[in-house]
Structure 1
Amino acid sequence: MERPGSMIKKGIGRQIVMHYFIVIFLALMLVEVVFLFAIRTYYYDTINNMISSHIDATVRSVLVSTNINDQSEMEYLNQVLGLLKLPEAELQILDGKGTVLISSSGFEADKPVQTSDIPQALASGGTAKWIGRQATTGEPVMAVTTTLQQNGGQVYLARFVTSIEKVNQRLTEITLVSMAVIAIVLFIVLIVSIGLANSIVRPINNIIAVSAQMAKGRFDVRVEGDYRYELGEMGSTLNYMAEEIVRSNQIKDDFISSISHELRTPLTSIKGWSETLDSGGYDPDETRIGMGIIAKETDRLIGLVEELLDFSKLQQNEMKLTMARVDLRELLKEIVLNVWAKAELKKVQLRLDADGDAYWVYGDANRLKQIFLNIVDNAIKFSHESSVIVLHLVREDGWVRTSVQDNGIGIDEENLKRVKDRFFQVNTQGGGTGLGLAITQQLVELHEGKLDMSSELGVGTTVSVMLPLLEEGPAAKELDTDTAGIEEV
């Protein structure tokens, strides 16, 4: 079980908890302020309305039933005081200057009342309210003042003063209760947010721990757990990455083993025949055979090294292409002538299926020849004896499609998905580096083309290369005659 301190330790978990907590806290504080303001307004308005209702109900009868001309001022004021007084409130009768002439409490004020309700009532001729503290006692009070005007023009003010201390106490109790409710809600929010943060952080920590082990070279570990949404995708991606690294490492190991064998075989032949020839005593025919083997194995070594160099250049984006107009039909004719001897050894027939028109593309002639030589060479290597390989050349909506179709051993669906991967070989006993199709793929892409493969085990394979068609016209002809048409990529 985690310690409380570790539940919100520094990190993304704490950030989640803090942000979630702060948002809820601010929302609750806003609700609290609005609630307390509404409650305070309700209580104060209730008192004010009660006094105002009393004033509305009694002032008219006071003005009708009393007349200052028939009696002395003090008698008139005592009569008004008796008619207007209200339980639980002190009634003061004031003159227009705020001097207290008479009060229901019997206390005499030593100075005029100067609160804001006096001038407001005089100015409006109606009722005004003031909330504050009594000057003598410091007690919180509410004062409601209204004007009393007789026919003679004499203006008096009736001022009702009531204590709101109990109301304020009630408001304080409501405030404390609401704050306690907020504290409980915030505690629940804290617990929930910690749980929410842990539900996010725990998988992240698990993924971090697994990725740390992978960084140390342990690619057998996997992210365990059925995580949802982005975390699930992250875990699946990390597991997929580990699987790809394991597969790449296996391919790399196979490549190293294969290339070591490929290099050792010609070197052994070269070394053996060199020592044999160096010892002397052989007739010219044997010497010629030995020199031929040395030359053949040397060419084979050069091909392997060049393939590795090409792959290295492509990986580092250092491959330079000399671009110009190229007729694919003529290029394929040259390729057929180049591999004719190899095809004859397996009694494989090569056939070019194209009309008599030129198929112009914009590319590097040598690299394009490398692309199609590799494809045709593979077709011959994996074809049966006395079979036919057809090279189709067609135009398709601004593209030139070159398809090399054989009736060889074919490739199963699983290996077809990986056959263009670097270092991968369907038949490890067939020799080579496993880089041929990977290099071909990248060269095609450098020519802004596409390479597709379809195959069925035991039926044959078709490799298609799509290249942008260079339409005939003035611009196309300039590429053939103007040196500005040559560029390096």
Structure 2
Amino acid sequence: MERPGTMIKKGMRRQIVLHYILVVFVALLLVETTFLLAIRTYYYDSIYTKITTQISAAESMVKYGSLNGTSANQLQGLLELFNLENTELEVLTLKGDIITSSTGFQPDRTITTSDVPEAVGGSTGRWVGRQAGTNESVMAVSKMVRINTHDSYVLRYLSSMEGVNKDLLNLTLLSLAIGVAVLTIVLLLSFGLANSIVRPLNNITAVSAQMAKGKFTTRIKGDYRYEIGELASTLNYMADEIVRSNQIKDDFISSISHELRTPLTSIKGWSETLVSGGYDPEETKLGVGIISRESDRLIGLVEEILDFSKLQQNEMKLSMGQVDIKVLLQETLLNIWAKAEKKRIHLLLECEETIFIKADANRLKQVFLNLVDNAVKFSPEDSSIVLSAERLSGTEMAVTVRDSGIGISEAHLARVRDRFFQVDALNGGTGLGLAISQQIVELHNGKLEMDSELGKGTQVTVILPLDDSQQGNARPSNSPVTS
């Protein structure tokens, strides 16, 4: 269990608790202030309404009746007619001098509070304050009354507000107690809320620190929800990808070491053999040919790695120009023809008469060579590979390489374009060919799509934008060409 000192230290936990408490405190303050003001207004208005109702009822009786006789009789009649229980009634002159009151006392003083001038002005005056002498909280309501059209008096009601104020004070204390109780509950809940956020983050931070030290086998455990759950899943996925990338890198180093060792061994062996001398021209020619072929193979491997490095660093520059797709595909088939002939594989070219695109011819040829070479590598003897090109719309065209080879499983198809990944490591290579091809196609604002079924073959489609001068042209008829 956490100590109190650690629960309020600087950090997200304290920020969450403080903000939560602040919001609830402000809300409670507004609600309670509004509630207490409304209650106070209700109490005060109720007393005022009760007095004014009594005045209205008594005024009606004065209007339809009469208060005759001497002044003393009139004043006594006013006191009896307008008297209100638990309220002192004073009869004043228009100047505010007290003439008489319902209590029987006739203090020799003049009333100067604001309710008297208001009453003399014709309205019902109201004043709340402290009564002189007793310092008691009172409400005074005054009204001018005319008798027999020539006698006018000011009737002033005094009602004590001490009981009301005491009730209001009790309500205020009760409201404060409720507010404190609510804040206490909110404080406890806010700590729970803060812990539900901070603890998973602390766990994620600790695991992330382990990952930063290279321990990528560690994982964030716990069934977290919402954004925190997404963060945990993302970090776990990142660790899985790093582990996979490291494994692929290790496999690549092992594979490339083997790929480099084989031609280097041949070159070194034939070099030493030729240096020793004593061989006839035919053997010498054979050895030099092997050295040349293995050197070309080494150059190809190094160039592939250099191309991938340039693509990764966005340093590959394209030399764009107008390219005739049919010519480019014919050159591709001629370059791969000898390799296909050894396996008795038939290469077929199907292309429209005229399709021009704006591209880097050498880089695009590199893509098609890689695709056709893969098709030859994984196709059985006496099979066929079809290389076709066609317009898809007024703005795009597609080049398709279709074989009837061993195909690719669904699991491998999702990863075959990843760098260093090899479906069959025994066939050699760096595992960079398709990754480089896809990036080159994307540099041309195109797409590389693959469709394969295990045991039935593979189809790779490269979709590229047409040259501006070709966009919108009518589609010419197909002209199959067999190579």
TM-score w.r.t. length of structure 2: 0.91
Tell me if structure 2 keeps the 8 A contact 1:423–1:435.
Answer: yes
Distance apart, 1:233 and its partner CA: 2.0
Q: Answer yes or no: is 1:27 the counterpart of 2:16.
A: no
User: Hey, what's the Cα distance between the residues in 2 that align with 1:450 and 1:350?
Assistant: 24
2:203 corresponds in structure 1 to: 206
Distance apart, 1:445 and its partner CA: 0.8
Distance apart, 1:48 and its partner CA: 1.8
1:80 aligned residue (78, 81, 90): 78
Check 1:473–1:394 CA distance in 2 against 1; reply closer, same or farther (3 A cut): closer
User: Hey, what's the Cα distance between the residues in 1 that align with 2:470 and 2:219?
Assistant: 59
User: Hey, what's the Cα distance between the residues in 2 that align with 1:224 and 1:215?
Assistant: 17
Check 1:473–1:216 CA distance in 2 against 1; reply closer, same or farther (3 A cut): closer
2:12 corresponds in structure 1 to: 12
Tell me if structure 1 keeps the 8 A contact 2:21–2:186.
Answer: yes
Q: Answer yes or no: is 1:123 the counterpart of 2:103.
A: no
Of the structure 1 ranges 1-10 and 92-101, higher mean CA displacement relative to structure 2 is found in: 1-10
1:339 corresponds in structure 2 to: 336
Give unmatched runs, 5+ long, in structure 1. 477-489
Check 1:308–1:243 CA distance in 2 against 1; reply closer, same or farther (3 A cut): same
Q: Deviations over 1:74-111 (max 9, x none)?
A: 55434533443434222221111112222334555454
User: Hey, what's the Cα distance between the residues in 2 that align with 1:333 and 1:468?
Assistant: 20
2:477 corresponds in structure 1 to: none
1:95 corresponds in structure 2 to: 93
Distance apart, 1:183 and its partner CA: 1.4
1:451 aligned residue (445, 448, 470): 448
Of the structure 1 ranges 459-468 and 438-447, higher mean CA displacement relative to structure 2 is found in: 459-468
Distance apart, 1:396 and its partner CA: 1.4
- What is the one-letter code of the residue matched to 1:379? A
Tell me if structure 1 keeps the 8 A contact 2:36–2:172.
Answer: yes
Specify the SS of the correspondent of 2:349. Answer: strand
Distance apart, 1:34 and its partner CA: 1.8
- For residues 357-436 of structure 1, what are the structure 2 equivalents within 5 Å? 357-398=353-394, 399-436=396-433
- For residues 52-451 of structure 1, what are the structure 2 equivalents within 5 Å? 52-61=52-61, 64-67=65-68, 70-71=69-70, 73-74=71-72, 76-109=74-107, 111-124=109-122, 126-355=123-352, 357-398=353-394, 399-451=396-448
User: Hey, what's the Cα distance between the residues in 1 that align with 2:408 and 2:470?
Assistant: 42
User: Hey, what's the Cα distance between the residues in 2 that align with 1:387 and 1:53?
Assistant: 111
User: Hey, what's the Cα distance between the residues in 2 that align with 1:57 and 1:150?
Assistant: 15
Specify the SS of the correspondent of 1:322. Answer: coil
Distance apart, 1:340 and its partner CA: 1.2
User: Hey, what's the Cα distance between the residues in 1 that align with 2:453 and 2:149?
Assistant: 120
TM-score w.r.t. length of structure 1: 0.90
Tell me if structure 1 keeps the 8 A contact 2:62–2:147.
Answer: no
Q: Deviations over 1:17-55 (max 9, x none)?
A: 333322222222222122111211222122222222332
User: Hey, what's the Cα distance between the residues in 2 that align with 1:407 and 1:8?
Assistant: 69
Distance apart, 1:411 and its partner CA: 1.3
Of the structure 1 ranges 277-286 and 459-468, higher mean CA displacement relative to structure 2 is found in: 277-286
- What is the one-letter code of the residue matched to 1:316? Q
Aligned-pair identity in percent equals 60
Distance apart, 1:292 and its partner CA: 1.8
Alignment RMSD, CA only? 2.2
Specify the SS of the correspondent of 1:313. Answer: helix
Of the structure 1 ranges 98-107 and 314-323, higher mean CA displacement relative to structure 2 is found in: 98-107
Specify the SS of the correspondent of 1:50. Answer: helix
User: Hey, what's the Cα distance between the residues in 2 that align with 1:473 and 1:451?
Assistant: 21
Distance apart, 1:327 and its partner CA: 0.9
1:480 corresponds in structure 2 to: none
User: Hey, what's the Cα distance between the residues in 1 that align with 2:119 and 2:113?
Assistant: 11
User: Hey, what's the Cα distance between the residues in 2 that align with 1:50 and 1:401?
Assistant: 93
User: Hey, what's the Cα distance between the residues in 1 that align with 2:426 and 2:341?
Assistant: 22
Tell me if structure 2 keeps the 8 A contact 1:392–1:402.
Answer: yes
Tell me if structure 2 keeps the 8 A contact 1:7–1:198.
Answer: no
User: Hey, what's the Cα distance between the residues in 2 that align with 1:475 and 1:29?
Assistant: 71
User: Hey, what's the Cα distance between the residues in 2 that align with 1:431 and 1:211?
Assistant: 37
Distance apart, 1:61 and its partner CA: 4.3
Specify the SS of the correspondent of 1:354. Answer: strand
Of the structure 1 ranges 215-224 and 7-16, higher mean CA displacement relative to structure 2 is found in: 7-16
Tell me if structure 2 keeps the 8 A contact 1:8–1:194.
Answer: no
User: Hey, what's the Cα distance between the residues in 2 that align with 1:100 and 1:42?
Assistant: 30
- What is the one-letter code of the residue matched to 1:427? D
User: Hey, what's the Cα distance between the residues in 1 that align with 2:138 and 2:298?
Assistant: 107
User: Hey, what's the Cα distance between the residues in 2 that align with 1:174 and 1:147?
Assistant: 36
Of the structure 1 ranges 158-167 and 38-47, higher mean CA displacement relative to structure 2 is found in: 38-47
Check 1:385–1:314 CA distance in 2 against 1; reply closer, same or farther (3 A cut): same
Distance apart, 1:142 and its partner CA: 0.6
User: Hey, what's the Cα distance between the residues in 2 that align with 1:17 and 1:428?
Assistant: 58
Give unmatched runs, 5+ long, in structure 2. 474-483
